[in-house]
Every structure is written in structure tokens, then in C-alpha cells.
Structure 1
Amino acid sequence: MVLSEYTYVFAIGTIFALLDAYNNGANDVANAWATSVSSRSITYRQAMIFGTIFEMVGAITVGARTAETIKNGIIPATAFKGDAGVQMLAFTCALAGASMWVMWCTRHSAHVSSTYSLVSSIAGVGVATVGASQVQWGWNNGKGLGAIFAGLGMAPVGAAAFGAIIFSLIKFTVHVRKNPVKWSIYTAPLFFLIAATVCTLSIVYKGSPKLGLNKKPASFVAAVVMGTGTGVAALSALFFVPYVYCKVINRDHTLKWYHFAQGPLLFNRPIPTDGQVVVPNYAVVQDDDVPSTGTHSPSLSDSDEPKNAPRDAITSVDSEKSATHENEAQQFTYQEMVKQGEEKFHAKLRTRRGPLGWGMRTLHNNPMGAGEIYEKKNMVILMKRIPATIVVGLLYGLHYDIHAAQSGIHGTPEGVRMERVYGAAKKYPNEVEFSYSFIQVLTACTASFAHGANDIGNSVGPWAVIYGAWNTGKAVPKNASVDVWQLAVLSLTISLGLITYGYNIMKVMGNKITYHSPSRGSSMEMGAAITVLIFSQYSLPVSTSMCITGATVGVGLCNGTFKAVNFQRVGLLVFSWIMTIPVAGTIGGVLMGLILNAPHFKS
């Protein structure tokens, strides 16, 4: 039997479940991929593709375990006393409270955890529905609020430790050597071994209930994990090492990417007489950055210094640049400078061909006129603006310049702060970082898989309860299963949020905390992935964003000075995490209390 009278509750709950998943992608997933994009190991568009694939694989194969914790670990199913309508309404209000809070924060580029937003909202709803005594405040075998919020302190610290250990291994194995380029090439199989082991561990050790991998004996798990890691390391030694050796050591600029298939035969490849190293520039700030928000910082780039110029002359030029920026800062406010930068970026987008250029030109050439919206002229303009707004909303994020937005605005306290942070970080040669850019792609996919497995439970758990109650007409029991199609739909929604709205979080994360590079970024992602996997193994929906933030701070401190970390940004993040608990809980609880206790008439 279907509760047809509650179909509207199911519809509203579905909308908020999709909105919560969208916010998850725009907030938490964007934070996870900000490390790879900030390190320039992968482009924004490539991150979207890999993110979509691995988010879905992680969610569909191993995502159901944490979903059950969200569903039944905070409010026991018995507390609803079999009332399906109240249960549906409770989880609908919980999704609404979390969605409202995260959407507001994302719009204002304030990063919060969607995991803790939903957990707090469910707790607030529980208080309003069944009373504070029925909410699982304690540990509750690892499923209560006490266990979940314990991750607020443990997860960032653990991720910081793992990230720092991995980067210290890279630093003392490669970076401090006399010939770090060769060391980075010859030790690459070791770090491929570590990354591949973590990736395999994500699949086998966590295990999908449908595959039954988590029920295999420890010897089987160890054999599969180490066998896969060793196999990837062996393949990297056969194909990756010769390829990078020819490209970097032999300076073979004629080498194509598909030549890697020749393996060891590349060592016999003739060395070009006019050889040159052709590797990407991994510097955070570069001359070709588009000043999307007025944040381009040319003086931070090494390429700004004239070659063979006297040191005094360079210092004089830098002083003049600094004085010029200070004067500009005095003439314009912070908001005005941001607005000017955005307008320059939008002007460039309007010159593009394709749908985005058309949409930007349409919006620019058709501003709303004077009078109310129902004026005939404004109605005509609105009809033109609606399709253009949709196109721009879908494509704008794919063209946003994350690096320019991260470096800070010149002449403002933020710009000075970021210059100080970047200046305190040791810069390593591009030839060395080149090797780790490949490893970071693997670690980024691992982190995305772990996120899909862990954070899909935030949205699918409450939605599964709402759907189950609506579909059966009964309150959902504790052991209710989650359908695969639900995991697939919400994982796609998460990816949509990352693609279309994730730039709001990316522009304030990554390089806003500390200086990024491929060797640093791969360490951060592996540290965060290991932490998420450990917590998820015990069915704790730990925040992925907290893990990657903790790992970022841990790796930043490996520079040997506190100045290499922007602790103001870290403090704002911690403050937003703490405020999430009362704000999201209050919104969810108030909504539930108002609706549940509103006057109604019996039929």
C-alpha cells in the first residue's frame, strides 16, 4: 500500500534530497578536488570527468554502509512507533535544514561540512519529534552523535598526521637530495605502490556488501591489496620511469604521450641535440592566469624578474609594483576591486564562441529596464535572459580561473597574507614535481572514490527512509536496504553540483591555506583518503572536507614554519564547522516543530 496522502511529502523530500546532494558536490567534493586543481596536476574539466566516474563507482559499490548509520544511528526507528507519516516528515525537515544552511554557506564561499550539517539537522529534528531523551547523544556502538562528532577533532588531526608522514617521506627521499630530478624518477614506483595500495584498500578492505569482499579472510585482503600495489609499481617501473627519464633527463621534446608503450626501449631512443625540457609550470601564480576576480598577482611569479637583470634593479621594480598596488588599493575598496576583476573576466568570456559566450553576451546586452517586471519591455527581456541564465549557470564554473582567485587581491590584507604564505614555502623544480603529477591523478581518484563511498550516505540515507515509508505505507525498519538506483541518481547530482557550483568553494580552498604542488597535493589526498577509509570502516560518516583540510595543514607545516599556513583561513573553517552544529540543528528542529504542531483538522 502506498501512502498517497503523503505523496506531496515524498515529493518535497525528494527535492531536498537532490538539493542536499547538489550542495554536497558543490561544497565537499569541490574541496576534495581543490587540491588537485590547485596543484595544477589536473585541469578543472579533467577533475569534473574523473570526479563523476569515481564518485559514482564509490557510491554504488560501497556507499550503503554509512547510509544506514545516518538513517538509524541518531533517531532510533522505534521512536516513531510505526507512524510512517511522521518518519517521512522528520527526514524531509532534516534534509531541508541541512540544504538551507549548506546552500547559504556555498553561495557566500563559506566552506562547511555537509556531513555535519545533516547530522546536526537530524538531531534537531529528533528533539522536536520524539524528545531529547530519544536522540542517541552518546557513542551508541559507534553510531550515536558522540561517535560522529568525535570525528570533528580526530579526523583533521589524523589526516594531518598521515599527510605529513607521506610528504616527509617524499621530502627526505627526493627533495633534499643533491640530484632530486633523478631521485624523483627512480623512486616513483615506490609512491605508485603506496597510492595503488591505498586505492585498492578503498575497494577491498571497505568492501561492498553486494560483493562480499569485506567478509573475506585477512590473508585474502592482504594478498589482493599488496598484489595490486606491487603490480602497479612494476608497471610504473617498466613504462613510467623510461618515459619520464627520456622527457626530463634526455630532454626529448619530440616524445609523445603514447610513446610510453615502448617501455624500456625508450632508453635506446636517440637523444636530440637541441633537446629541451617540456613540462608544465606548476607555480601557483603565473602570467597567463586570468584575473577572474581581480586576484592576479604578477609579482609572485618568478617569471616577472627580467633575466640577467641586476638584483638592485629587480628590487626597484618590485618596489614600484608594490607602491602602485598600494595606491590602487587606497583608491578602490575591496568590493570594488573584486567587481572590476570580475567584469574583466566576464568581458573575456563574452568574446568566446559557443554557448557560454552567447549566454554572457545575451545577459550583458539585455539588462532589465526600469519599472516592474510585468512591464511589457521587461517581460520580453526576461524571456531572453532565462535561457541565457540557464546556459551560463551550467557552464560558468568550467571556465572559472581558480588559481587567480586563490592568490589574493593585491594591495589588500588578503593579498599580503597570501604573499607571505607563498614566500614561506619551499619551491621545488617543475621537473621534480612532474613525476608526482601522475601520482596525484591516482590519489585524486582514490579520494573521490572514498568520498563517494562515505558521503553519499548523507543524502541517500534520509531519502531511502522517505521513499521506503511512502512506498510501503509503514515506518521503515532498521534493516531497510538502499536501492542502487537511488545511489546512482544522487551520485550524479553530486557531480552536477561539483561541475556547476563548485568553483565558489574551490576559489577559497587549496592555495588559500598553504602553497600547493603535485608532491604536496598527492600527500594531502593520500592522507585524507586513508583517514576517510579508516573512519568509514567503522561506519562513521566523517567529513571528507575536514580530512583534506587537516591533511593540507599537516603538509603545509612540513615547510618548517607556521608562516607557510594561512591560519586565519583555517580558523574561519573551524569556526564554520562549529557553527554548523547549532545552526543546522536549529533550522531542522524548528521546521519540524512548526509543521508537526501546526493546527490541523481530522477528516
Structure 2
Amino acid sequence: MALDAYTYVFALGSMFALLEAYNNGANDVANAWATSVSSRSVTYRQAMILCTIFEITGALAVGARTASTIKNGIIPSTAFGDNAGVQLLAFACSSAGAAIWVMWCTRNSAHVSSTYSLVSSIAGVGVAAVGASKVQWGWSDGSGLGAIFAGLAMAPFISGCFAAIIFLLIKYTVHKRKNPVPWAVWTSPAFFLIAGTICTLSIVYKGSPNLGLDKRPPSFIASVTLGVGFGLCLLSALFFVPYVHAKVVKKDDTLKWWMFFQGPLLFKRPPPPDAETRKAKVPNYEVVQEKTTESDSEDSTTAAKLPKGSADMEIAPVGAADSVRDSEKGPGGLVEYSYAQYQQLLRDAEERHHANLRKTKGPLGWAMRQLHANRLSAGSIHETRNLIAMVKRLPAMVIVALLYGTHYDIHTSQIGIRNTPEGRRMERVYAYAEKYPNEVEHLYSFVQVLTACTASFAHGANDVGNAVGVWAGMYAAWSTGHPSASKAEVPMWQLGVTAATICIGFITYGYNIMKVMGNKLTYHSPSRGSSMEMGAAITILIFSQYKLPVSTSMCITGATVGVGLCNGTYKAVNWKRFFLLFFSWVVTVPIAGLIGGCLMGLAVNTPHW
């Protein structure tokens, strides 16, 4: 393989590796943050900022740990002999196979695991490149396919157990009390203790390869971990508890966010004179809302009014029921939509969203107006009018591709038409979930921001290592001319670039998954969501400690089901949606493997001279 061919394959493979990382952000990260956004604890834009900070932090601190498993655990470096070109080509085809499959699924709002797509693609490439006998199908000291695919069943179950335990503690410590609000206030520092301890332990235990902690004694690990955890707990007791106590318990709605710096002095702050005669001014965290109130979160202020019985945090189009003739109404006056009518209502809702964007100022508003004013007319693309329109549309299309996701309204886009099969199914699921006071949920909305950041840190620690593994292998083979060594270091710049690409994928295209994942499995609220995210984060960090790639999507799904079952009945979970997700995980293995294997087989056996 000539030097210019090495460079060509490396460039092509790098493109697919970054595309796979982009799709990872648009798919897995979006699913992880869907819980917080759907629970109205954060807006989509706030999620973008927090995700970027903690994703990159987790990647740089811990991310290299799972990279070695992806790079060398499935196809040993020795299997390539001294042929760096074949290894380079193998990793390029692996990235391409995973990227193609996940990209297609994300485009069609289908939820799959980016981790298992990449692992399956590597296995398929290994069969085509070095033969099935050279692929590590067994446990292989915890780095083979047997160990990785064991997580397919273990990770969701373990995550569900952790999440259920955390939520049951909240349920019986706070929600079941006669006056739950003070209990929620005084117990909230425990979450800061857990989050700080878990994140710190993931960095110092067994030593972060990027911080030189691999030879530290157990006493150092214990002191640093507990010190950070209890320190964060103390800070929350000094600043967070007084703030939320004044805000919710004293019902002081004149309090500004920056006043939390006053700390314990807020306990002495007198409440408003009429505090006892009014409720605390907090957002409405109900999934199904009859109307939009002044206290709703930022994303819900533009929501249309919900007809009675609409499902999911899903906004039925305004006037949808009025546009249907009486003859099309079912028993009890409920509207029975045909498939064509339902699809039209979805298109109408999207058009209303675009009409709102066209009224905004800034680059995106200009781009949406430009696209609307220069729509393609009848005839082929070669018509003069269409060619001119296309030239005018190109700059606007670039801006929309970059900024459309940052302005997407997740709540109003989760369309649920009244009396559709899924709408009725979700109504039944929500009916089995007990609804807790908004004042209590408001407290846990702050906690959920913390748990979401912890989950994002965990994703950066695990999935960035997965995504960068094959890229690091390609870089080593290209730069040295020899197959990547099993103990080769993963360059820090590759971790940073991969983490940034994952964040860009979430920011620009994550809405496509988030809008369909929202509350589809069970009823969400901040107290439930914080339990789900913490349970998933703990599971991911445990697996990453043992260099086992695990799917963030599977962990958050397992945690969601675990919390849903805490309602006391299996009927509080949408099992149809769960089995659809499980089916997508299973079919990912052969499909991604076949795509990667076929690409490698074609590349290796291409006629050459």
C-alpha cells in the first residue's frame, strides 16, 4: 500500500469516524437528555450548554479507558501481522458501517445504540479481514465480544435497579409524607453527595490515564472521593438549601436567582406578607397540560392548548378536532383520524413551527424566510426558475442545517393526536402513575440538572472512548506505518475533537431523536427523571471502570423502565415501545456487522495493480 494510499484511506476513515461520533451525539446523547428536557427541568438550549461542558470533561478525564477495548479487544493487533494497511482499512470500514447504519436510523427517528453499532461493525470487518477465527468472540479477559454483549442484558437491568432504588428512597422519604415540601428541601444535598462521589470515583479509581493517577494508594482514592462528595454536599447545604427553602417553603417569589450567594442569610429573609394565602410560583410539570400558564417553562410558553385526553407531553394541533366532520367522530365525540389525516396534521404542526421561526430575528429567521420565499415550483430541477431558486436557497440551507436544532421546540413537536392508538395507550400508562405536587417537583428540577450533567459526564467517559477507539487505531497505523500497538496511547487531541463532534451532533440534530423519545415509555417528572439519570450514570461509570463499552441508550431505557415499575404495576410502562426499542438493539448487531463486513470484503478484494 503506497504512502498516498495510506493517507487517502486515513482521510476517508477519519471522515466516517467523525460522522459516527456526530451520529452518536444526535442519537445517544439526545436520548440521555430527553428525560431532562421532557420533564421541563431544562430547556433544550440549556441542555446544549451543559452537555458540551460535561461531555468534554468526561471524555478528557476518563474517555481513553474504553478506547483500548474498541481498538484492540475485538480484533487483536497481532491478527494483522505487520500489515498496517489492512488494519487501517479495517478500522475505516468499521467506522463507515456504524456511521451509515446510525445515520439512517437517526434520519428516520429510529432509536439504536451507537456503541453496539460500532462493535458489531468491527466484528463484521474482522470476519472479512482476518477470518472469524481471529475475532475475539469470547470473554477474552473482559475485552472480547462475549463481555461486551453481556452488557446488552446486564446494563439495562443494573441501571433499572439503581434507578428504582433511588426513586423508592425519594418516594417514601419525601412523596409519601403529609407535608413533602420541607422533606424534599432538607434531603436534596444527598443527591449532590452521590453525584460528586460517583464522578470523582470514576476519575481517580484505577487512575484516569490522562491524569497520571494509576499508581495512587487506596487512601488517596478514598480521601479525594469522599472529600469532593462531602464538600459538594456541604456547599449545597449552605447555598442551595436556603435558596429553595425561601423560594418554595416561604413562597418568596420576589427572590432572584443570584441571591443564592447569600447562603444561610436567606433563612432570615422575611417572606412576603401574603405568602400564606398563595401558592409558590413554580412551573407546571404535568405531562398533559390543559392550558399554558404564566409559570410554565420557557419551552412551553408557545405550546398550543391541549384538548382533553391528549397524550404524552404532546401538543395536539389547534383546531384539529374542529376540522373533522361530525361523521368522522367516534363514540363519545372522540375524533377518529385516518392515517392520511394524521400525517397531514403532523405536517400542519410542523408548518406552524416553521411559521413561528420565520417571525424571529437573527440568521435562522432570515434563512427560514428565504427558504419560504424561494420554494421550488412545478417542473424539474433544470427549469430556469428552479435553478435560480436553488442558488438563492443554498446559503439559507447551510444556516438552517447549523441553527435549526438550536431553536427546535421539543414539547410542541411531540405531536400526539387525540384518540390515536398510541394516544390511548399513553393515556392508560399515565393513569397508573401518581402525580406529585409541582412544588416538590420544582425542587427536583434543580437536582435533575445535576443528575443530567452526571449522566453526560458518564457518557463522555464511555461513549467518547468507543467513538475514538477506531480513529486512534487508524491514526497510529497511518502515522507509524505499522499496526497499532495494543498499549498505544490515545492522543488527547483526538478525545477532544471526538467529544466536540458528539456535542455538535446533539446540538444540531439531537432534536430528531428527542422529539420521539420524550415520555414514550412511562410518565416523567423531575423526581423520576433525576432517579433515571443517576441510575444510568452509575451503571455507565461502573462499566467504563472495567473498560467495557456499554450503551448509554440502553442504560437510560432500563432506568426509565425501573422507575416506571415503582408505580406499583407493570401497566405503568409502555411495553410496546420498550420491545420496539429492544428489537432495534437486536437488529443492529447483524445489520451493522453486515454493512461493515461487506465494505471490508469489497475493499480487500477490489482488483488492484
C-alpha distance after superposition, 1:485-537 (max 9, x if no partner): 11111111100100011011111223111111111111111100110111111
Q: How do 1:320-359 and structure 2 match up within 5 A?
A: 326-327=334-335, 329-330=337-338, 332-359=340-367
Aligned positions of 1:129-168 closer than 5 A: 129-168=129-168
- Shift in Å, 1:331: 8.7
Q: Corresponding residue for 1:548?
A: 556
Q: Are residues 1:374 and 2:386 paired? A: no
Return the offset for 1:282. Answer: 1.5
1:434 matches 2:442: yes
3-state SS in 1 of match to 2:139: coil
CA spacing shift, 1:105–1:483, aligned 2, 3 Å: same
| Displacement after TM superposition at 1:407 (Å) | 6.2
CA distance in 2, matches of 1:293, 1:363: 24
**1:459 counterpart residue number:** 467
Partner of 1:481: 489
What is the CA-CA distance between 1:343 and the residue it aligns to?
Answer: 1.5
For residues 252 and 321 of structure 1, do their structure 2 counterparts lie closer, same or farther at Cα, with a shift above 3 Å needed? farther
> What is the match of residue 22 of structure 1?
22
Aligned match of 2:323 = none
Relative to structure 1, the CA distance from residue 437 to residue 85 in structure 2 (aligned partners, 3 Å threshold; closer, same or farther) is: same
Residue 123 of structure 1 corresponds to which residue in structure 2?
123
Cα distance in 2 for residues equivalent to 1:56 and 1:426: 37
- Alignment correspondent of 1:306: none
Please report the TM-score for the alignment, with normalisation by the length of structure 2. 0.92
**Aligned residue identity for 1:426:** E
Residue number in structure 2 paired with 1:419: 427
Unaligned runs of 5+ in 2: 293-298, 314-327
Tell me the equivalent position of 1:530: 538
Q: Given the superposition, is the C-alpha separation of residues 297 and 483 from structure 1 closer, same or farther in structure 2, using an over 3 Å criterion? A: farther
Q: Is the 8 A contact 1:2 1:470 kept in 2?
A: no
Kept in 1, the 8 Å contact 2:330–2:336? The answer is no
Look up the match of 1:224. 224
Cα distance in structure 2, aligned partners of 1:290 and 1:360: 22
Q: Which of 459-468 and 195-204 deviates more?
A: 195-204
Structure 1 residue 196, shift from structure 2 partner = 2.2
Q: Distance in 1 between matches of 2:195 and 2:59?
A: 20
**How far has the Cα of 1:214 moved from its partner?**
4.1
Change (3 A) 1:478 1:302: closer
Identity in percent? 67
Query: 1:365-404, CA deviations, whole angstroms, 9 ceiling, x for partnerless residues?
Result: 2111333323332221111111111111222222222223
- Any conservation in 2 of the 1:297–1:404 contact (CA below 8 Å)? no
Instruction: Select between 320-329 and 534-543 the one with higher mean Cα deviation.
Output: 320-329
- Asked whether the 8 Å contact 1:111–1:576 carries over to 2, the reply is yes
SS at 1:374's partner residue? coil
Q: Against the structure 1 CA distance between its residues 60 and 321, is the aligned structure 2 distance closer, same or farther, given a 3 Å change threshold?
A: farther
Letter of the structure 2 residue corresponding to residue 535 of structure 1: F
State the AA in 2 paired with 1:272.
P
Q: Indicate if the aligned counterparts of 2:242 and 2:267 stay in contact, CA closer than 8 A.
A: yes
Aligned structure 1 segments of 4 or more residues deviating by more than 6 angstroms: 289-295, 320-325
Distance 2:371 2:178 in 1: 56
Cα distance between partner residues in 2 of 1:417 and 1:302: 10
**Shift in Å at residue 280 of structure 1?**
1.9
Indicate the residue corresponding to 2:318 in structure 1: none
| Distance in 2 separating the partners of 1:323 and 1:365 | 43
CA distance 1:330–1:324, shift in 2 (3 Å): farther
RMSD of aligned residue pairs (Cα, Å)? 2.4
Q: Is the 8 A contact 2:60 2:210 kept in 1?
A: no
What is the distance in 1 between the residues matched to 2:78 and 2:36? Answer: 44
Residue 175 of structure 1 corresponds to which residue in structure 2? 175
Q: Distance in 1 between matches of 2:243 and 2:147?
A: 48
**Contact (CA 8 Å) 1:293, 1:342: kept in 2 or not?**
no
CA shift for structure 1 position 293: 11
Matched, 1:283 2:291: no
CA distance in 1: counterparts of 2:87 and 2:596, whole angstroms: 14
The residue aligned with 2:504 is 496
Match of 2:63 in 1: 63
Answering whether residue 44 of structure 2 is matched by residue 41 of structure 1, we say: no
Q: CA deviation at 1:199?
A: 2.6
Displacement of 1:206 in angstroms is 5.8
**Distance 1:327-1:409 versus aligned 2 partners, 3 A rule:** closer
Determine if contact 1:31/1:505 at 8 Å carries over to the other structure. yes
Deviates more, 1:163-172 or 1:330-339: 330-339
Letter aligned with residue 59 of structure 2: A
Q: Deviations over 1:274-319 (max 9, x none)?
A: 334122222223334779999955545999xxxxxxxxxxxxxxxx
SS of match in other structure, 1:190? helix
State the Cα deviation string for residues 424-472 of structure 1 (Å, max 9, x = none): 2111111111221121111111111111110112221111111221112
Query: Mean alpha-carbon deviation: is it higher for 325-334 or for 294-303?
Result: 294-303
- State the Cα deviation string for residues 212-252 of structure 1 (Å, max 9, x = none): 33432222222222222212222222222221111112111
* Counterpart-to-counterpart distance in 2, 1:74 and 1:246: 55
What residue identity is the alignment partner of 2:401?
A: G
Pair 233,453 (structure 1): closer, same or farther in 2 beyond 3 Å: same
Query: Which range moves more in the overlay, 270-279 or 490-499?
Result: 270-279
Residue 400 of structure 1 aligns with which residue?
408
Query: SS of the counterpart of 1:63?
Result: helix
CA positional deviation for 1:582: 0.3
Mapped partners of 2:502, 2:55: distance in 1: 8
Q: Give the match for residue 87 of structure 1.
A: 87
> Any idea what SS the aligned residue of 1:215 has?
coil
Indicate how the Cα distance of structure 1 residues 324 and 42 shifts in structure 2: closer, same or farther if over 3 A, else same. farther
Q: Secondary structure at the match of 2:283?
A: coil
Residue 300 and residue 369 in structure 1: after superposition, are their counterparts in 2 closer, same or farther (change >3 A)? closer
Moved more, 143-152 or 243-252: 243-252
Q: After superposition, what is the alpha-carbon deviation per residue over 1:30-89, rounded to whole angstroms, capped at 9, x for unaligned?
A: 111111111111110011001011111111121111111000000111111111111111
CA distance in 2, matches of 1:294, 1:590: 48
**Matched residues in 2 for 1:205 and 1:427: separation?**
39
Is the partner of 1:213 in helix, strand or coil?
coil
The answer on whether the counterparts of 2:9 and 2:88 sit within 8 Å (CA) in structure 1 is: yes
Matched residue type, 1:117: S
CA-to-aligned-CA distance 1:168-204 (integer Å, 9 cap, x gap): 0010100001110111112122232222222322322
Change over 3 Å in CA distance of 1:108–1:263 after alignment to 2: same
Mapped contact 2:311–2:416 kept (Cα < 8 A): no
Q: For structure 1, which runs of at least 5 residues remain unmatched after alignment?
A: 304-319
Q: Could you tell me which amino acid in structure 2 is paired with residue 360 of structure 1?
A: M
The code of the aligned residue for 1:25 comes to G
Moved more, 472-481 or 9-18: 472-481
Give distance in 2, aligned partners of 1:416 and 1:17. Answer: 42
